[in-house]
Each structure stands twice: as structure tokens, then as C-alpha cells.
């Protein structure tokens, strides 16, 4: 029986993980759950899964949850300390890291330091502090299993192969809902249009990241740290159907890929039960029915955010953390309808241009750069919003 903690249990990845736990009660038990502010959903999860402890990032939300869960055995904690406590629970074997954004860094790193194996969906901490996370993982004998579908595909395509034989990692990108729009059309894109992902149903933040291709930029950085492969050997190809989840080319020019219909339960379950596979009741891939798979080069003019990922990785130090924080601020401002779609890339560009990177030798360096970039990006958003009403 594997004892599981889910950081971000009320989100898209979190609920898919609980789906798998519910289907295999003899294999997995949810011992700890955490959420940001969604009291109703966490209450429902407490009543279904009876975890020993839960934590809510928001103190007031935790207070409301306590009032609704009187008489239940689950301990309800709150704030950063509460999240950290659940992430490091002594009986936990595996922590599913599925908070959205940089907010996941502190609890995920705490879990690693406590020696917990990690199933990593939350890519932003890897972008902010990849070296630190990997150093801690090595120090504490921790394995980090990728959940992100592309990285799970790379991981699966590398199994049984030698790292020194790898020529290239090829990440696939769906291109998102706006792939076919012109720059002029992109300028006027609405939040609703940007949230309509063609292949995946995910949280709002990553859905916007898919529309800007920032998600792929973050994933290039994530792949670099997960697999210790230089950026020069990581490529991206747009593959509209999201059937091939990523590929690895070896020096004999053999290319190994992992395929499947787009459903996150497949990579989640693989990370949870590695190396064994569990039977999932999902539709089979029918290639003849799909008929055609299409591929394109990314368009850096219309979608500059992918290039920002490569650039941040090349500059190194605190630059990836700054890229990530600026993106989080800009995406939120777009979702709040304060800036336009192209304002996201502009905010990131201007924040990165203003940054003087330093090394990330401790958690504080990453958190400091994150705070600086949030303030800077906030100012840029204000100026863009003001210009828009003028
Ligand atoms: P989501 O918005 O659906 O869920 C986010 C979860 O994090 C929720 O439980 C929420 O309560 C919690 N949360 C939000 N802000 C928080 C904060 N400040 N402190 C503590 N908890 C907080 O997001 P998602 O789509 O499930 O994505 C989660 C992560 O997984 C992201 O990093 C995303 O990039 C990655 N990912 C998601 C998918 C997908 O299919 N959804 C695929 C690949 C990778
Ligand atoms: Mg992905």
C-alpha cells in the first residue's frame, strides 16, 4: 500500500490523481491533501478519502473548512507551515506535486528534503530552482517522477537506454487554441478564446500558458533539469493532435516516442506506480480513425514565449525564476482582463530585460528573484493597463 500526499488536490491534476486512488484502494491511500481556497471541494474529498491531515494555503478558508468538518478525524492545518507539515507527513511515501505556480516550491522542496519521492506535475518550481531541487533530491536519495505528459513520454522513451547515446529530446506542443491566428488577431483575443484548449482540459493558468506557448518554454527548462540534458539538445515540434507525447532521438538515428490519447491519468498513474502499470479504463488509441498526424515548426514571431524559456535557461541563475514570476503576474492580469493577450509576452520581455541575474545557491535566491519579478511585472502590467484605457 502506497501512502500518498497530494499538494493541490482540488485542481485538475489533483482530482485526476484522486480518481486513480479511488479505483485502486488496495494500492494507494490518500493520507494528506492540500488546497488553496476551495473549501467545498476539499470538504468533499475529506469525506470521501478520510485523509489523516489536510492543509489550506488560506487561513480564513481553513477556518471555514474546520467549521464544516466538525466531528471528523482529519486534522486541518493552514498557511505555509500547514502545507509543509502535510508535505512531510511521516507516513507518506509519495508526494504528488500539483499546486499551480511558484507557490508549490516551498512545500515540494520540503517534501524532497524530508526524503519523500515526488510525482511532479507542478513544473514552475523546477523552472525557479531546478538545480536546487535536483541537488536536494540527490542528497536525500529522492526520485522525482515526471507527471507532465511530455516529460513522462521522454522518461518512458529513455528507459533501458543510455543517456550518453541521446542526440535530442523532442518535445511536442499542441500549439494551443490560437495556433492559426495572425498577429493582428492575437492582439484582440478574448479570455474565452484563449481558454478553449483543443485537446486537454486543465487549470486556467496552464491553459493560457499553452495558448502563448509559454508552457512549452517552461517545459524546456523542466526537461533540462529533470533529465540533465543541455538546452542545445532539446527541441520543440508543434503536433496539433497531441497523440505523440514526446520523442527521444539516439545516435544511431533511432527515434523512440510514447503515444496515447490525451488523458493525464496515464502519466499520473505511471508516476504513482512506477515501474508497474495499472489497468486504466480509458479508450484505446485508434490510429486509423485519427488518420493524420501533423507537425510544424514553432513560430517564434507570433509566439515569442517559447524562446524566452530557452533564453532564460541560457542566461541561467535567477533568470528562469524571473521569467516564471513575470509570466504568472501577466497571465493573471490577462485573466482579469487588465491586459491583452500580447501584453503577456511584453510583460515577460520587459521584466527579463530589467533583471540582473545572480546565482541560485539557496532557496532565498529563487524566492528573492520571484518577489522582485512579481513587483516589476506588476508595474509593467499597470502601465499597459493604463495605456489601454487612454
Ligand atoms: P489547477 O488550477 O486546476 O489546480 C491548482 C491546485 O493548486 C488547486 O488544488 C489549488 O487549490 C492549489 N493552489 C492554487 N494556488 C495555491 C497557492 N497559492 N497555495 C497553495 N495551493 C494553491 O491547476 P492544474 O491544471 O491541476 O495544474 C497544476 C500543476 O500541474 C501546474 O503547475 C501545471 O502546469 C501542471 N500540469 C498540469 C496539467 C493538467 O493537465 N492540468 C498537465 C501538465 C502539467
Ligand atoms: Mg505538458
As a whole number, mean pLDDT of residues 194-220 equals: 96
Cell numbers for 100 = 499551480
Residues 77 and 38 in one domain: yes
Do 39 and 115 lie in one domain? The reply is yes
Buried b (16+ CB within 10 A) or exposed e, 22-54: eebeebbbbbbbbbbebbebbbebbeebebbbb
- How many CB atoms are closer than 10 A to CB 75? 16
Is the pLDDT score of 189 beyond 80?
yes
Distance 115 CA to ligand 1 centre (A): 23
Kindly state whether residues 250 and 214 are assigned to the same domain.
yes
Are residues 347 and 200 part of one domain? Answer: yes
Q: In sequence order, what DSSP letters do the residues of 130-159 get, joined into one string? A: HHHHHHHHHHTT--EEE-SHHHHHHHHHHT
Q: Is the CB of 200 within 6 Å of ligand 1? A: yes
The residue-averaged pLDDT of 24-53 equals 98
The cell for 115 is 526524503
For the CA of 206, the nearest ligand: 1
Instruction: Give mean pLDDT, residues 119-134.
Output: 98
**168 and 140 housed in the same domain:** no
For the chain, give the mean pLDDT: 98
Q: 378 falls in which pLDDT band (50, 70, 90)?
A: very high
pLDDT tens sequence across 283-293: 999 999 999 99
Q: Is residue 277 in some structural domain?
A: no
| Ligand 1 closest atom vs CA 205 | 2
pLDDT of residue 198: 87
Report whether residue 148 contacts ligand 1, using a CB cutoff of 6 Å. Answer: yes
In a domain, 270, yes or no: no
Q: Are residues 104 and 169 in the same domain?
A: no
177 and 87 within one domain: no
Domain boundary residue, one of 146, 180, 212: 146
Summarize the confidence of residues 96-109 as an average pLDDT.
98
| Pocket mutation for ligand 1, best pick of 6, 11, 151, 197 (most atoms within 8 Å of C-beta) | 11
Let me know if residue 157 belongs to a domain: yes
Judge if 13 and 125 occupy the same domain.
Answer: yes
CATH number of the domain where residue 249 is located: 1.10.1740.10
CA of 71 relative to ligand 2 center, distance in Å: 40
pLDDT tens column, 317-337? 999 999 999 999 999 999 999
In a domain, 269, yes or no: no
pLDDT at position 143 is 98
Per-residue pLDDT of 70-97, as tens digits, reads: 999 999 999 999 999 999 999 999 999 9
Sheet of 166-173, strand order: 234-238, 166-173, 244-250, 255-259
CATH number at residue 141: 3.40.50.720
Indicate whether 75 and 94 sit together in one domain. yes
Structure confidence at residue 51 (pLDDT): 98
* pLDDT at 390 > cutoff 80: no
**Cell of residue 66, nine digits:** 474546520
Q: End of a domain among 112, 146, 180?
A: 146
**Structural domain contains residue 273:** no
- Percent of the chain past pLDDT 70, that is, above it, reads 100
Q: Do 219 and 355 fall within a single domain?
A: yes
Domain end position, chosen among 81, 115, 146: 146
In a domain, 80, yes or no: yes
**218 and 99, same domain (yes or no):** no
Rounded distance, CA 71 to CA 77, Å? 15
- Both 116 and 163 in one domain: the answer is no
Domains of the chain: total:
2
Q: What angle do CA 44, 48, 51 make, to 5 degrees?
A: 100
Q: Are 235 and 171 in contact (CB under 8 A)?
A: yes
| Omega cis (within 30) before 275 | yes
pLDDT of residue 388: 85
Question: Is 343 part of a structural domain of the chain?
Answer: yes
Residue 389 — very low, low, confident or very high, per pLDDT cuts 50/70/90? confident
When pLDDT is cut at 50, 70 and 90, the band that residue 315 belongs to is very high
Cα(108)–Cα(125) distance, integer angstroms: 8
Does 168 have pLDDT greater than 90? yes
For ligand 1, pick from 9, 10, 12 the residue to mutate: most ligand atoms within 8 Å of CB.
12
Q: How far is CA 167 from CA 28, 129, 182, 255, 306, in A?
A: 37, 25, 34, 10, 21
Domain assignment of residue 30, yes or no:
yes
Residue tagged 520540503 (cell numbers): 110
Residue 374 belongs to domain spanning = 151-262+284-389
Amino acid at each position: 500500500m502506497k501512502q500518498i500526499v497530494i499538494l493541490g488536490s482540488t485542481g485538475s491534476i489533483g482530482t485526476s490523481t484522486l480518481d486513480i486512488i479511488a479505483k485502486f484502494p488496495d494500492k494507494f491511500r490518500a493520507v494528506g491533501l492540500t488546497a488553496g481556497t476551495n473549501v467545498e471541494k476539499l470538504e468533499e474529498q475529506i469525506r470521501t478519502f478520510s485523509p489523516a491531515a489536510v492543509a489550506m494555503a488560506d487561513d480564513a478558508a481553513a477556518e471555514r473548512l474546520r467549521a464544516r468538518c466538525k466531528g471528523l478525524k482529519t486534522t486541518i492545518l493552514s498557511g505555509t507551515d500547514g502545507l509543509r507539515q502535510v508535505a512531510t507527513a511521516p507516513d507518506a511515501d509519495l508526494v504528488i506535486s500539483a499546486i499551480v505556480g511558484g507557490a508549490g516550491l516551498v512545500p515540494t522542496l520540503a517534501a524532497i528534503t524530508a526524503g519523500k519521492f515526488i510525482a511532479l506535475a507542478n513544473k514552475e518550481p523546477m523552472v525557479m530552482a531546478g538545480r536546487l531541487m535536483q541537488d536536494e533530491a540527490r542528497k536525500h536519495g529522492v526520485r522525482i517522477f515526471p507527471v507532465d505528459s511530455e516529460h513522462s513520454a521522454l522518461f518512458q522513451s529513455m528507459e533501458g537506454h543510455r543517456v550518453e547515446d541521446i542526440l535530442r529530446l523532442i518535445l511536442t506542443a499542441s500549439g494551443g487554441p490560437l495556433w492559426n491566428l495572425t498577429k493582428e488577431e492575437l492582439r484582440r483575443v478574448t479570455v474565452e478564446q484563449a481558454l478553449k484548449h483543443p485537446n486537454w482540459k486543465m487549470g486556467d493558468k496552464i491553459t493560457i500558458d499553452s495558448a502563448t506557448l509559454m508552457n512549452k518554454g517552461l517545459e524546456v527548462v523542466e526537461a533540462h533539469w529533470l533529465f540533465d540534458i543541455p538546452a542545445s539538445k532539446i527541441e520543440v515540434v508543434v503536433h496539433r493532435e497531441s497523440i505523440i507525447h514526446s520523442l527521444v532521438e539516439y545516435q544511431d538515428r533511432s527515434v523512440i516516442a510514447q503515444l496515447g490519447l490525451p488523458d493525464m491519468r496515464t502519466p499520473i498513474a505511471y508516476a504513482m506506480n512506477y515501474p508497474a502499470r495499472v489497468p486504466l479504463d480509458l479508450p484505446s488509441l485508434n490510429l486509423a480513425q485519427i488518420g493524420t498526424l501533423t507537425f510544424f515548426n514553432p513560430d517564434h514571431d507570433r509566439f515569442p514565449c517559447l524562446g524566452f524559456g530557452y533564453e532564460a535557461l541560457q542566461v541561467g541563475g535567477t533568470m528562469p525564476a524571473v521569467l516564471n514570476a513575470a509570466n504568472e503576474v501577466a497571465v493573471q492580469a490577462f485573466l482579469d482582463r487588465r491586459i491583452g493577450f500580447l501584453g503577456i509576452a511584453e510583460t515577460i520581455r520587459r521584466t527579463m530585460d530589467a533583471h540582473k541575474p545572480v546565482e541560485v545557491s539557496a532557496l532565498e535566491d529563487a524566492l528573492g528573484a520571484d518577489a522582485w519579478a512579481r513587483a516589476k511585472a506588476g508595474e509593467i502590467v499597470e502601465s499597459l493597463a493604463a495605456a489601454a484605457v487612454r
